[in-house]
C-alpha cells in the first residue's frame, strides 16, 4: 500500500512520496472480526451452485451488454473454466465511464489503460443487479453523461 503505484503491478518496490509510503495493508482487528460472519456464509454455501450462478450472471451481463452497449468490447474469456467471477470490457473512455457508474451506485473498477471490470459475486449479487447495472451504463452512454469533466479527474483507485 505504501508503493508509489500500488495498482501498477510492477516488479520491485518504489516508495510513495511523503507520509503515504507508510501505508500498510493490514486490516484492523475489529474489521477482521466483522468479516468472520461473511466468511462463515461463504463456507456454508454450496460451491457448485455458486459457480453455476456466477456463470449465469456472466451470461446475462454479456447478453445485455451486447444488446444495450455494443460499443464495449468484452475481453473476458467466454468459457467459465477460463475465468473467475468477473467480466471486463475495453473502452477508450473507461476511466470517466467508471466514475459515472460509481456516481449512480454501480461499483466496478478501472484497470489501466482502458478496462472496466465488474465483479459478479454470486453469493450476494442478483440477476436484477446485473440487469440494472447494464441499464444504468446504457443510460450513461446514451446521454453522454460520462463526458462531464467531473468524471475525468484521475485518482489512485476507482
Residue 50 has pLDDT above 60, yes or no: yes
Burial annotation 61-78 (CB, 10 A radius, 16+ → b, else e): bbebbeebbeebeeebee
Q: How far is CA 149 from the centre of its chain?
A: 22
Q: In this predicted structure, which of 46-55, 132-141, 146-155 has the lowest mean pLDDT? A: 146-155
Higher-pLDDT residue of 111 and 34 is: 111
Residue 7 has pLDDT above 80, yes or no: no
Q: What is the pLDDT of residue 107?
A: 94
Partnered with residue 117 across adjacent β-strands are 88, 109
What is the mean predicted confidence (pLDDT) over 112-125?
94
Residue 20 has pLDDT above 90, yes or no: no
What is the mean predicted confidence (pLDDT) over 95-99?
96
Q: Are 60 and 131 in contact (CB under 8 A)?
A: yes
Q: Range(s) for CATH 3.90.1150.10 in the chain?
A: 46-151
CA distances 52 to 79, 121, 131, Å, are 12, 11, 18
pLDDT in tens, 119-139: 999 999 999 999 999 999 999
Cite the beta strand spans of the chain per DSSP E: 73-74, 86-90, 109-111, 115-119
Q: In this predicted structure, which of 27-41, 49-63, 97-111 has the lowest mean pLDDT? A: 27-41
Share of residues in the chain with pLDDT > 90 (%):
68
- CATH 3.30.499.10 fits domain 46-151: no
pLDDT in tens, 53-84: 999 999 999 999 999 999 999 999 999 999 99
Amino acid at each position: 500500500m505504501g508503493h508509489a503505484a500500488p495498482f501498477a503491478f510492477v516488479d520491485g518496490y518504489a516508495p510513495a512520496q511523503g507520509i503515504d509510503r507508510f501505508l500498510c495493508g493490514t486490516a484492523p482487528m475489529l474489521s477482521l472480526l466483522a468479516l468472520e460472519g461473511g466468511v462463515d456464509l461463504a463456507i456454508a454455501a454450496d460451491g457448485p451452485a455458486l459457480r453455476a450462478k456466477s456463470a449465469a450472471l456472466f451470461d446475462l451481463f454479456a447478453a445485455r451488454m451486447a444488446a444495450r452497449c455494443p460499443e464495449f468490447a468484452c475481453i473476458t474469456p467466454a468459457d467459465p473454466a477460463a475465468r473467475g467471477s468477473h467480466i471486463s470490457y475495453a473502452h477508450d473512455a473507461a476511466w470517466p465511464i467508471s466514475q459515472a457508474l460509481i456516481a449512480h451506485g454501480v461499483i466496478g473498477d478501472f484497470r489501466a489503460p482502458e478496462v472496466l471490470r465488474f465483479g459478479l459475486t454470486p453469493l450476494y449479487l442478483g440477476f436484477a443487479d446485473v440487469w440494472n447495472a447494464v441499464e444504468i451504463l446504457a443510460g450513461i452512454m446514451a446521454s453522454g453523461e460520462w463526458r462531464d469533466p467531473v468524471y475525468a479527474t484521475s485518482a489512485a483507485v476507482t
